[in-house]
Amino acid sequence: MRATSSIRALLRGAAERMFKFLAWIGEEPISAYRPEAHYMRGPGPAWRAKHLPGQVTSLRRVR
């Protein structure tokens, strides 16, 4: 009988820790996808090099 009560106590403690963990995860905010946060301004230099051959590949200013 003593063994079963200690097993129950262990299982009860494990269940409490699991529920606390799940409650903690539930408190974390789930961020929604916001496309404006990932907005790209336009094609980059690799796209220009591929699609606009013979054009200037760099838009840097020369000092």
Report if residue 36 sits inside a domain: no
Range of the domain at 8: 1-28
Q: What is the pLDDT of residues 9-50, one digit of tens each?
A: 999 999 999 999 988 887 766 677 777 777 777 888 888 888
Report if residue 22 sits inside a domain: yes
Confidence (pTM):
0.40
pLDDT at residue 36, as a whole number: 75
Q: How many domains does the chain have?
A: 1
Report if residue 10 sits inside a domain: yes
- The residues, ordered by sequence, that sit 6+ positions from 59 with a Cβ below 8 Å of its Cβ are 45
**Token output for 63:** 């000092």
Give the separation between CA 39 and CA 2, rounded to whole angstroms: 63
Report if residue 49 sits inside a domain: no
